[in-house]
Structure 1
Amino acid sequence: MLSTLPPPASGVHHPLITTTKETEDPLSEVKVLISDFLDRSNYKSPQSPCDLELRKKITEELSTWPSDINPTAISKIIDGCCVFVETAYGHTTHEHRCFIAFYIAFCIYIDDLGERDLDAIKLFTSRLVKGETQPDPILRRLAEHLGCVYDLWTPFGADAIIAGTLDAITATYLEFTTQEMVVKPSATRFPYYLRTRAGLGPPAIHFLFMKDWRATPESYLQIIPDMEHWTLGTNDILSFYKEELAGERNNYVHLRASAEQSSAANVLRQLVEEVLESAAKIDALTSEDPELAALWKRYQQGYLEFSLKAQRYRLAELGYQA
């Protein structure tokens, strides 16, 4: 385990980074910051069980997808959807887990579709609100799927899931069409704006609160902004290592570094503090509601478990296992 300095008197935590010219690793700071984040998140694997029935249903659904989709990609989608649901949403009913897993599969498909048929993404929302049929068969299934959301979540939650989905689809189109755009130093709010629209934060959080869990949202409404920030920020942090290895520069950390005229490492360090602060706020806000506190902790640890299980994040290279 990589060592860190204790927090200074100010309360700001600065992880120890040691390199020499002989052993210098360009990713050493990234590795330390990610390890520091996981350590300070007090990760304790929930050891979420495998849901065989869910995996069977997802496999059956994806077996009907167009034959031109790579079978290896299909296998990865099945595993990714199921692991995410098993870890982050294990407290929900089987019906909810199936809905969420199908939903995630459709969203992954949209990312791939942008390389082949960007117009289908561009026109999805207009076709949906006009009641027009989506020509793409998987987008057609997504549109039908969204029609069931009110059966499983409160009107407030269902509205947020649908709005967040449409935002993310629009943001996907923007990401494909603005790849050459340079973020200007004065556009410091743009990276956050794009990230919050593209990140599916509202659906991810509102999936937690089933209709039968609590009939109205006032008891958990105030933690939602920090839960969304924690979820999106955690993904930014834990996916950054593999993105650096791949040379990706269009992620939130690099866009923010460009806008703030800073380095990616400095932004990542600041983001770690911001996300841990959100976790502390949620702890405080749920302290007088044991049921809500338990749900938050289960989600937090389950989401971390998913990130460590996901081979694409390559966190095992940093010495972490789910």
Structure 2
Amino acid sequence: MNTLSDLTLPLGKPMANTVTAPPPSPIEVQGSSNEEALLDLARQVVNDLLARTGIPITVTLPAQYAVVEERVRATVATWDVGDIPTARLERYIVSGIQLGAVGYAHTALETQVLIGLYTVCGLSVDDGECDAGALAEFAIRLQTGRPQLLPILDRFAEVLAQMPDFFNVYLATTVLTDSLNFVNSTLFEKDLEGMQMRPAAGQYPQYKRARNGLGEVFAAYIWDKFSFPDVSTIIQALPDAIIFLIHGNDILSFYKEELGGDTKNFIHDRARVTGKDTHTVVRELLEDVVASVHSARAILEGEEREAWERFMAGYISFHLVTPRYKLASLIEGGA
């Protein structure tokens, strides 16, 4: 894993390169000048997000990182994962460790390990390691306690069964139901690839993103039951946490996905139904994410608020330490 030099932005201090220029016209990414225009836009949006929310950035590995890594790797080493190639499994393991240890560094150590293991399973589903037949049977086999049709799905079921040990009943159930939505969405996603997006289906992109984004799962993970047994102290902030998670990821992924020509994402779906260009959509999305951050801050108090702040910093840091997001060039290049 590549590590980055320390880069810290104090809470509430605007970044020097924050730009408030009007939205650019649509740009097709082809040729160096257009790539530079994309880089400028992505840099503006990411830096605006950081400046307007005051989320601090500390790109250093947490002290417990090595312990989380050791425990996740030790557990996965005991797993039967079927035919998943070693190289691909390693990518899932690294991502799981990074998300658990960096994104959720404020939680209990064992919670971080569980999040890492969940991520390994989730990425295996998301990246096509499971055939349609096995995914179609996942929910019913989980309900009836029967073995899954693929070893990695058995591992996924085992991880899900541990959620009540780490989260209160409401959040543990939320993790389960959102995971089932995710598997169901993944199952039918390929069948829907050629579907024409109708302009009248304005709510469909959000519906789709809510089901394939695991936003409820990773929002639930912010507040484990060891520190937050009472769901009433955080439940009103969950909708904002979900928006921050899924659409924050959309913004932080925008640069790499545009460079890669990826159009199978929320930003392009929303552009299709609204008739707007993707650059306008990503700026509108920025407004939604900034609003969600401040709304959750107004709702949460005490330790719940502190956990929210620490999570947001960890979530941004996770994207920074993960090379595939290419965020270091956006922030360092604009500084």
Contact 1:81 1:105 in 2 (8 A): yes
Summarize the Cα distance change of 1:41–1:17 in structure 2 as closer, same or farther, 3 Å threshold.
Answer: farther
SS in 2 for 1:77: helix
Shift of 1:144: 1.9
The answer to whether the 8 A contact 2:43-2:331 is kept is no
Conserved in 2, the CA contact under 8 Å of 1:226 and 1:279?
yes
Residue 35 of structure 1 aligns to which amino acid in structure 2? N
Code of the residue aligned with 1:253 in structure 2: it is: I
Report whether the alignment pairs 1:264 with 2:290. no
Matched, 1:83 2:85: no
Higher RCO structure, 1 or 2 (CA under 8 Å, sep 6+): 2
Matched to 1:267, the amino acid is V
Contact 1:15 1:36 (C-alpha < 8 Å) held by counterparts: no
1:164·1:200 contact (CA, 8 Å) conserved in 2? yes
- The amino acid of 2:145's aligned partner reads G
2:258 aligned to which of 244, 250, 271: 244
Distance 1:315 1:15 in 2: 22
Counterpart in the other structure of 1:207: 221
Aligned-residue CA RMSD (Å) = 2.4
How far did 1:237 drift? Answer: 0.4
Instruction: Report deviation, 1:67.
Output: 6.9
- Deviations 1:213-232, CA, capped at 9 Å, x for gaps: 23321111111111111111
Greater than 6 Å deviation, 4+ residue runs: none
State how far apart, in whole Å, the 1-side matches of 2:278 and 2:24 are: 15
Contact 1:4 1:16 in 2 (8 A): no
| Length-normalised TM-score, structure 2 | 0.85
The Cα shift of 1:180 comes to 1.2
| 1:94 aligned partner, one-letter code | L
Distance in 1 between residues matched to 2:22 and 2:299, nearest whole Å: 28
Gap change, CA 1:192 and 1:57, over 3 Å in 2: same
C-alpha distance in structure 2 between counterparts of 1:251 and 1:23, whole Å? 24
Runs (5+) with no aligned partner, structure 2: 1-15, 26-30
Shift in Å at residue 194 of structure 1?
0.6
The question of whether the paired residues in 2 share the 8 Å contact of 1:3 and 1:16 is answered with no
Query: How far does residue 255 in structure 1 lie from its aligned partner after superposition?
Result: 0.3
Whole-Å Cα distance in 2 between the matches of residues 68 and 150 of structure 1? Answer: 30
Q: Does 2:114 align with 1:99?
A: yes
Tell me, yes or no, if the aligned pair for 1:171 and 1:197 is still in contact at 8 Å: yes
Distance change in 2, residues 1:119/1:276 (3 Å): same
Describe the superposition over 1:148-188 as per-residue Cα deviations: whole angstroms up to 9, x where unpaired: 21122111111111111111111111222211112110001
3-state SS in 1 of match to 2:115: helix
In structure 2, the CA distance between the partners of 1:292 and 1:3, relative to structure 1 (3 Å rule), is closer
Question: Which moved further from structure 2: 38-47 or 264-273?
Answer: 38-47
Write out per-residue CA displacement over residues 233-280 of structure 1, whole angstroms, 9 at most, x where no aligned residue: 100100111111111111000001101111111110000011001111
CA contact (8 A) 1:62 1:74 kept: no
Distance, in Å, in 1 between the alignment partners of 2:297 and 2:104 is 19
Q: Is the 8 A contact 1:160 1:203 kept in 2?
A: yes
Does the CA-based 8 Å contact 1:4-1:15 persist in structure 2? no
Which of 220, 223, 246 does residue 232 from structure 1 map onto? Answer: 246
Q: Percent identity?
A: 27
Task: Give yes or no for the alignment of 1:171 onto 2:190.
Answer: no
Provide Cα deviations, 1:7-54, integer angstroms capped at 9, x if missing partner: xxxxxxx55769xx9945351433422332233332422443352222
List gaps (5 residues or longer) in structure 1.
Answer: 6-13
Task: Check the 8 A contact 2:166/2:224 in 1, yes or no.
Answer: yes
- One-letter identity of the residue aligned with 1:40: R
Q: Which moved more, 1:92-101 or 1:33-42?
A: 33-42
Q: Does the aligned pair in 1 maintain the 2:270–2:281 contact within 8 Å?
A: yes
**Is residue 2:306 matched to residue 1:304?**
no
Contact between 1:308 and 1:320, CA under 8 Å: does it hold in 2? no
Aligned-partner Cα distance in 2 for 1:209–1:142: 21
Q: Pick which of 190-199 and 62-71 moved more.
A: 62-71
Deviates more, 1:46-55 or 1:135-144: 46-55
Q: Does 1:30 align with 2:42?
A: yes
Query: Following the alignment from structure 2 to structure 1, what is the Cα–Cα distance between the partners of residues 128 and 320?
Result: 27
CA–CA distance in structure 1, aligned partners of residues 111 and 23 of structure 2? 43
Length, aligned pairs only: 309
Q: CA separation in 1, counterparts of 2:204 and 2:154?
A: 31
Residues 132 and 305 of structure 1: CA distance in aligned 2, closer, same or farther (over 3 Å): same
Q: Is the 1:59–1:78 contact (alpha carbons within 8 Å) kept by the matching residues of 2?
A: yes
